[in-house]
Structure 1
Amino acid sequence: MKTLKNKLLLKGLFYDGVGMLSSAIPVVGSFIDILWAPYAAKKMQKMYPGKKGKFASALVFVEEILPFTDIIPSFTLMWLYTFVWNKSEVEDIRFNEVIS
């Protein structure tokens, strides 16, 4: 079960990295964020289903669409909240769509 936690963490780090890369491109980065925000929100909801996932999905959408907030690692923070601070077990989350 730890491998599923690790896969979620790795996917989260990857998505956070992609979100942060858009801020490195001076003018085009803002337009990339317009495309990236709904995609990131959809991925967040797939990774963390339920009410917490919907709330995190809305937050990641707002965070990605607003300028100068790309530095916030939303996916990593959600992983920390889920598995470290809240100490949820892997069984508490449906992982049928997480790996895809």
Structure 2
Amino acid sequence: MKKKYKLLLLGLLFDGIGMLSFIIPIIGEFFDIIWAPASAFFIYKMYKGTEGKVASIVSLVEEAGFFGTDFIPTFTLTWIYKYLIIKEKKD
């Protein structure tokens, strides 16, 4: 399996983990305190360079639930940006 599809599958898994806070409302909020920095670390390691740095900051802010953004699938959107949007610009 190509690396980009492994990143997509991992991203879907991590976005799913991030959505767990919606299943158990009160416990989920405490989970976000742990998951926010962990998700920032994982996305930083998955995507190198500027993409990884920007995505990690976005993921940290999003998973912490600032501005009601906890529902955004940051990992999946980063994959789409890297492999679909940027790829089109390079062609």
Q: TM-score, normalised by structure 1?
A: 0.81
Partner of 1:76: 76
Structure showing the higher helix proportion among its residues = 2
Identity of aligned residues (%): 51
Q: Could you list the runs of 5+ residues in structure 2 that have no partner in the other structure?
A: none
Q: 1:36-78: CA deviations, max 9, x gaps?
A: 0000000000000111110110000000001642221000000
| 1:77-96 → structure 2 map (5 Å cutoff) | 77-87=77-87
Match of 2:20, SS state, is: helix
Q: Could you list the runs of 5+ residues in structure 1 that have no partner in the other structure?
A: 89-100
The alignment yields a C-alpha RMSD, in angstroms, of 1.5
Partner of 2:36: 37
Residue 23 to residue 69, structure 1, CA distance change in 2 (3 Å): farther
Q: TM-score, normalised by structure 2?
A: 0.89
Q: How many residues align?
A: 87
> Which contiguous aligned blocks of 4+ residues in structure 1 show a shift greater than 4 angstroms?
none
Q: 1:68-91: CA deviations, max 9, x gaps?
A: 422210000000000001118xxx
